[in-house]
Amino acid sequence: MTATATEKTELLSLRPDELAALLKGWGQPSFRAGQLFGWLHQKRAHTFDEMTDLPAALRQRLAERCALTAPAERRRQTSADGSTSKLLLELADGNCIETVLMRHDYGASLCISSQVGCRMGCRFCASTLGGKVRDLTAGEMLGQVYAATELLKTHIDSLVLMGIGEPLDNFENVMRFLDLIHDPKGLCLSHRHISLSTCGLVPRIDELAEKKLQLTLSVSLHACDNETRDRIMPVNRTYPIEELLAACRRYFAKTGRRISYEYALIAGVNDSAAQARRLAELLSDQVCHVNLILVNPVTETGFCRGSRREAERFCAILRQSGLSATIRREFGGDIDAACGQLRRREQREHREE
């Protein structure tokens, strides 16, 4: 996490030991790193002047050499029932990302983005339209969490990395983020309260398994055969279903954590009774849960959702086969809460101005 002569060091991305090394290089006593970390992650200072227990000279040097930036609210939408709030946040370079707060009976869950755009090319997803712009830093991911709690005046009970981007395509920054958000001197959020979604990058799943984190791995499966999955998820051409499921078995063997399989039901594509039976057969030897989703309509994709009754039929077949399966509760359908939709609207409106 070094900076060039023309760049400033992004402090929010630095682990405690890295902050300590930075300040030691400036001749500061070791306890200053703990003070600075507290200002960043507990008190969440917006300016260096707020850090009143740091010497003025140190605050001046930090301001000259380091960045202390938070994403700015560009747009906010809240569902009619108040259960969901979606923030369009603008980063320091002008790029925008989405963060969604979902209020449950058991607490508040925040969905954050890990990239600006996405290069995975899933045909039903608005996030991938226009491709990937860049990765987010760990600090920019943390910035979403801190901004959401401040702007929406709420406490976060759980976190999902299911927003814009493929988290495992930004592996190092995401691992750094997971370290920082779990730090006992920061937000101290248990990894058991974090879900990480992937479209199926097999080598990265194996790499994540080696870390033995106690998070929930959510695998976007969305098809029960390679022909269908090839058509709607280009990643399957590199890592077909058989390789992906084998990686998931290895992940469970290493971590003991049950896999959650996401399955978006697309009318006429992957939602037949025969496909439900095939899916049940595929997952019969897995310790897993299947999360069925009525696909979100995105104008550019042309895909449609079936009825709730058809989804219940699909779910019943899975359950009758012995699988744990539920239909995901929908949040924010009236506010474009599906991944990438609000950002896409903002881009269209900007082009039309």
Report pLDDT digits (tens) over 9-26: 999 999 999 999 999 999
Residue 82 lies in a domain: no
What pLDDT score was predicted for residue 106? Answer: 86
Q: Please list, in sequence order, all residues whose beta carbon lies within 8 angstroms of the beta carbon of residue 258, skipping any fewer than 6 positions away.
A: 216, 252, 287, 288, 289
Q: How does residue 1 score in pLDDT terms, banded at 50, 70 and 90?
A: very low
Residues 15 and 141 in one domain: no
State the chain's mean pLDDT as an integer: 92
Q: What is the CATH number of the domain that holds 213?
A: 3.20.20.70
The 10s digit of each residue's pLDDT in 285-331 is 999 999 999 988 766 667 888 899 999 999 999 999 999 999 998 76
Residue 248: strand, helix, or coil: helix
Residue 348 lies in a domain: yes
The 10s digit of each residue's pLDDT in 101-120 is 999 888 999 999 999 999 99
- Which residue, of 22, 37, 67, is where some domain finishes? 67
Residues 197 and 253 in one domain: yes
Q: How does residue 239 score in pLDDT terms, banded at 50, 70 and 90?
A: very high
The answer, yes or no, to whether residue 342 has pLDDT greater than 90, is: no
Residues 211 and 287 in one domain: yes
The answer, yes or no, to whether residue 346 has pLDDT greater than 50, is: yes
Residues 252 and 179 in one domain: yes
Residues 327 and 241 in one domain: yes
User: For the chain, first and last CA: distance in Å?
Assistant: 38
User: Does residue 243 carry a catalytic annotation?
Assistant: no
Residues 62 and 93 in one domain: no
Residue 83 lies in a domain: no
Residue 4 lies in a domain: no
User: Does residue 98 carry a catalytic annotation?
Assistant: yes
The answer, yes or no, to whether residue 127 has pLDDT greater than 80, is: yes
Residue 237 lies in a domain: yes
Residue 75 lies in a domain: no
Residues 93 and 169 in one domain: yes
Instruction: Give the separation between CA 110 and CA 99, rounded to whole angstroms.
Output: 7
Residues 53 and 168 in one domain: no
**35 burial via Cβ count (<10 Å: 0-12, 13-18, 19+):** middle
Q: Are strands 158-161 and 194-198 parallel, antiparallel or unpaired?
A: parallel
Residues 120 and 38 in one domain: no
Residue 73 lies in a domain: no
Q: What is the pTM of this model?
A: 0.92
Question: What's the rounded mean pLDDT across residues 242-261?
Answer: 98
The answer, yes or no, to whether residue 261 has pLDDT greater than 60, is: yes
What pLDDT score was predicted for residue 232? Answer: 96
Tokens 């104008």 correspond to: 299
Instruction: Give the separation between CA 315 and CA 279, rounded to whole angstroms.
Output: 11
What pLDDT score was predicted for residue 338? Answer: 57
Residue 27: strand, helix, or coil: coil
| Number of C-beta neighbours around residue 167 at 10 A | 28
Question: What's the rounded mean pLDDT across residues 186-197?
Answer: 97
Residue 137 DSSP symbol: P
State the catalytic residue, choosing from 10, 98, 140, 262. Answer: 98
- Domain span at 288: 89-352
The answer, yes or no, to whether residue 334 has pLDDT greater than 70, is: no
Residues 253 and 213 in one domain: yes
Tell me how many domains the chain contains.
Answer: 2
Residue 133 lies in a domain: yes
Instruction: Give the separation between CA 149 and CA 137, rounded to whole angstroms.
Output: 19
Q: What is the CATH number of the domain that holds 37?
A: 1.10.150.530
The answer, yes or no, to whether residue 203 has pLDDT greater than 60, is: yes
Residues 119 and 264 in one domain: yes
The answer, yes or no, to whether residue 169 has pLDDT greater than 70, is: yes
Residues 164 and 224 in one domain: yes
The 10s digit of each residue's pLDDT in 25-57 is 999 999 999 999 999 999 999 999 999 999 999
Report percent pLDDT > 90 for the chain.
Answer: 82
The answer, yes or no, to whether residue 62 has pLDDT greater than 90, is: yes
